[in-house]
Amino acid sequence: MAKNRVAERNLFEVAMSQQGYFTYLQARKAGYARSAAYFHARAGNWLREKHGIYRLANFPDAERPDLVMWSLWSADRKGNVQAVYSHQTALSIYDITDANPAKLHMTVPAGFRKLHPPPKGIVLHRGALKDSEIRRERGYLVTSPEKTLRDMFDAWLMDAGEVRSAAREAVAKGLMTPDEADRIARLKHG
């Protein structure tokens, strides 16, 4: 019985950091047996959201469940999340422009592979990100505002004036430093 309580506590801590969501692998690492997912889903304790992704039934609804679920979907076989929200999706997360993308944009490593292609609502950008270009949110990763604006500019999705305006908004919201905004203001298409 004590082992079950430890597993339950461990899983709750993981789920709490991910807005109530967790993967089958995370449940196993928390101490649950292989049959636990079937048992808890059938008992109504765990809600199956996607293949291998669950939510604690008694956990409050997440603010943006799609961001957490697709982040967990991107995990490799060891359970490491591979995707970082970027481009238009990062702009909408930071709310520094009026971006409201119809699809979720994620940057993944060049070698990212999944058994099935990404769903229709996901746009994958391939590239390497430095740790300094990534911010950790509750249950998902997002590119920093500076990296986001740089990516939008480099992809010709925003012009220099739009990037400067968004950088000013990011500074006003405390998301970027004035030095970061100055670096963004110097961007030019070559």
pLDDT, one tens digit per residue, over 86-115 is: 999 999 999 999 888 999 999 999 999 988
User: Are 23 and 80 contained in the same domain?
Assistant: no
71, part of any domain: yes
125-134, 141-150, 154-163: which has the minimum mean pLDDT?
154-163
Note the pLDDT tens digit of each residue in 59-96: 988 888 999 999 999 999 999 999 999 999 999 999 99
pTM: 0.91
Q: How many independent structural domains does the chain possess?
A: 2
User: Are 48 and 93 contained in the same domain?
Assistant: no
User: Are 164 and 73 contained in the same domain?
Assistant: yes
Note the pLDDT tens digit of each residue in 166-186: 999 999 999 999 999 999 888
- Percentage of the chain with pLDDT > 90? 81
Question: What pLDDT, on a 0 to 100 scale, did the predictor assign at position 173?
Answer: 96
User: Are 146 and 173 contained in the same domain?
Assistant: yes
Would the pLDDT of 1 be above 60? no
Domain stops at, among 56, 87, 102: 56
Q: Which two tokens stand for residue 35?
A: 């049959």
136, part of any domain: yes
3-state SS of the chain is CHHHHHHHHHHHHHHHCCCCEEEHHHHHHHCCCCCHHHHHHHHCCEEEEECCEEEECCCCCCCCHHHHHHHHHCCCCCCCCCCEECHHHHHHHHCCCCCCCCCEEEEECCCCCCCCCCCCCEEEEECCCCHHHEEECCCCEEECHHHHHHHHHHCCCCCHHHHHHHHHHHHHCCCCCHHHHHHHHCCCCC
Owning domain of residue 133: 65-185
User: Are 48 and 92 contained in the same domain?
Assistant: no
190, part of any domain: no
With the C-alpha atoms ordered 19, 25, 26, 30, is the resulting torsion angle positive or negative?
A: positive
Question: What pLDDT, on a 0 to 100 scale, did the predictor assign at position 100?
Answer: 87
96, part of any domain: yes
